[in-house]
Amino acid sequence: MVRKLQAQGISHPGVLGAMQIVERHRFVDTALANQAYEDTSLPIGLGQTISKPSVVARMLELLCQGREGRIGRVLDIGTGCGYQAAVLSHLVQEVYSIERLRALHEKARDNLRAFRLANVHLLFGDGMAGYAQGAPYAGIVAAAGGNDVPQAWIEQLAVGGRLVAPAVTDSGQQHLIVIERHAHGFTRSVLEPVLFVPLKSGVS
């Protein structure tokens, strides 16, 4: 899987190393384990999916790009099965990962228990509101896309921080968006088209 990611242009050594360490088959149903290392999204229940490895790697490479060593505190929105939080745990000092669907929150807790990741904090709540108690964040990454990036996320970003999330642009298509916070404002970049599950508010 990692060799395929390199062939697709992923070059950040930390991201490649983290994806080598975290066994993706442990985050999908046993019946799908033989597909775990293919570059495909897979169902994890409740209409949600585990993202394609290439998409996870791309987003985390964007998050880490040009930054030395481990990033500080990162907010992971949409825990899902817990895979991205596990990969992040090897790249950042602390992960706050929030999930709005209780059944998935519990599934992620079960999946991550064996890994004993002391720097991963799983939260049950509305990810659209972010998690103000842990702010400001050196990075924010989201696994669901809405019509725009919620203002709460932008406000919870630290100066020097970077946010990577899918959102619908003026074209009507979902694209990867990167927002960086500077001392005197923000820069926003629109990158390649992507297809993520819709961002929803509330808990269930």
201 within domain boundaries: no
Domain assignment present for 200? no
| 40: in domain | yes
Report the number of distinct structural domains present in the chain: 1
Is 204 among the domain residues? Answer: no
pTM, 2 dp:
0.96
Domain-located, residue 69 = yes
* Residue 39 covered by a domain: yes
Q: Which helix (H) or strand (E) holds 166?
A: strand 157-168
State pLDDT tens for residues 148-189: 999 999 999 999 999 999 999 988 999 999 999 999 999 999
| pLDDT tens-digit series, residues 39-91 | 999 999 988 999 999 999 999 999 999 898 899 999 999 999 999 999 999 99
Annotated catalytic residue 51: yes
Q: Is residue 199 part of a domain?
A: no
Phi-psi region of 172 (alpha: psi -120 to 50; beta: other; left: phi over 0): left
Residue position matching structure tokens 């990167």: 178
Q: Domain range for residue 128?
A: 2-193
Q: How far apart are CA 9 and CA 4, in angstroms?
A: 9
Residues pairing with 162 in the sheet:
139, 180
Rounded Cα distance between 29 and 35, Å, is: 10
Identify whether 58 is part of a domain. yes
Tell me the per-residue pLDDT of 88-122, one tens digit each, with 9 for 90 and over.
999 999 999 999 999 999 999 999 999 999 999 99
| Residue appearing with tokens 């991550």 | 112
CATH code: domain of residue 111 = 3.40.50.150
- Of 11, 41, 51, 54, the active-site residue reads 51
Question: Per residue in 150-164, is it b (16+ CB within 10 Å) or e — as a string?
Answer: beebbebbeeebbbb
The two three-digit tokens of residue 164, written as one number: 């990577």
